[in-house]
Structure 1
Amino acid sequence: MTTAVPAAGSRDLPHPAREEIRLEAVLHALSDPMRLRIVRELAAEGGELSCSHFVLPVTKSTTTHHFRVLRESGVVRQTYRGTAKMNGLRRAALDDLFPGLLGSLLAAAERQAVRLGG
């Protein structure tokens, strides 16, 4: 997968172009409970959230890894706003490429959370 590479010293982050997003990368990204939790929160918010908004029971470096996997798979878009790294779900691209996938996964995750009491 090729990604747009930012210029040296740039604070822009590389993201796959819409046509480069692959189903197996999206499924891999969403197969981890922490990453699915991040995506669920982004979907519930409907807008962008900063990385610091998320309180995950993992180290900061692991949290950074999870966001990188989500970005590199094309699930989220990350942009800097001042010193904050903002995260937004690439819902339109995902829904266009894989109709119904994200909605079905989010609904299944919600049912599972209710069933497991989380």
Structure 2
Amino acid sequence: MPEELAHPAPEAMELGAIFAALADPLRRQVVLTLAAEPGAVIPCGGFALPVAKATRTHHFRVLREAGLIRQVDLGNGRTNRLRLEELRQRFPALVELLLAEARRPPG
């Protein structure tokens, strides 16, 4: 049975923690990938991150603890989705900025 990990409530999300999480380019890539397809649920291995598994785990934990993503533990892996509605409730302008950045062509 899937187990849900601890996630901050929207009112407990802190802007500083969100900015710190987004400051790293790999974590920002994860968030923008999820924002490009609102509602998408992607396993941790579904992101092309050029780092070791332990580092990847760290990046996902930072994103989860900041409140940017919701992770569900499936036993042999975890899925990730952007907490779009919760973020929209707490920081509406930030969500629109993320969505606009996700739609922007690379380069």
Shorter-chain TM-score category?
0.7 to 0.9
2:21 to 17, 29, 50: 29
Q: For residues 64-83 of structure 1, what are the structure 2 equivalents within 5 Å? A: 64-83=57-76
Question: TM-score, normalised to structure 1's length?
Answer: 0.78
Q: Which protein has greater RCO, CA pairs closer than 8 Å, 6+ apart?
A: 2
Question: TM-score, normalised to structure 2's length?
Answer: 0.85
Instruction: Tell me by how many angstroms 1:31 deviates.
Output: 1.0
1:93 to 86, 94, 101: 86
Question: Which whole-Å CA distance do the structure 2 matches of 1:105 and 1:44 have between them?
Answer: 9
Q: Which residue of 2 aligns with 1:43?
A: 35
RMSD of aligned alpha carbons? 2.1
Aligned residues: 105
1:31-90 residue CA offsets vs partner (Å, 9 max, x unmatched): 110000000111123221100101111111111110000000000010023523010100
Q: Which residue of 2 aligns with 1:17?
A: 9
Question: Which whole-Å CA distance do the structure 2 matches of 1:83 and 1:64 have between them?
Answer: 13
Question: Which whole-Å CA distance do the structure 2 matches of 1:104 and 1:22 have between them?
Answer: 17
Q: List runs of 5+ in structure 1 lacking aligned partners.
A: 1-9
Moved over 6 A (4+): none
